[in-house]
Amino acid sequence: MTEAQVTDAKERLVLPAALEIEGAEDLLARCRAAATGEGALAIDAGEVESVDTAGLQILIATRAALAAAGRALRWERVSPALAEAARLAGATGALGLDGTAE
Containing domain of residue 83, as a range? 3-95
Q: Which candidate, 58, 53, 65, 64, places its Cα nearest to that of 90? A: 53
CB 59 within 8 A of CB 75: no
> Do the domain assignments include residue 59?
yes
> Do the domain assignments include residue 22?
yes
> Do the domain assignments include residue 101?
no
Q: Alpha-carbon distance 65 to 29, whole Å? A: 13
Position 54 scores a pLDDT of 97
> Do the domain assignments include residue 80?
yes
Position 1 scores a pLDDT of 39
> Do the domain assignments include residue 64?
yes
Domains: count for the chain:
1
Position 10 scores a pLDDT of 67
> Do the domain assignments include residue 102?
no
pTM: 0.85
Position 75 scores a pLDDT of 94
Per-residue pLDDT tens digits for 71-96: 999 999 999 999 999 999 999 999 99
CATH number at residue 39: 3.30.750.24
DSSP 3-72: EEEEETTEEEEEPPSEESGGGHHHHHHHHHHHTTSSS-EEEEETT--EE-HHHHHHHHHHHHHHHHTT--
> Do the domain assignments include residue 58?
yes
Neighbouring residues of 94: CB distance < 8 A, sequence distance ≥ 6 = 60, 63
> Do the domain assignments include residue 86?
yes
Q: Which ranges of the chain have pLDDT less than 50?
A: 1-9, 100-102
Burial zone of 61 (CB within 10 Å; 0-12 exposed, 13-18 middle, 19+ buried): middle
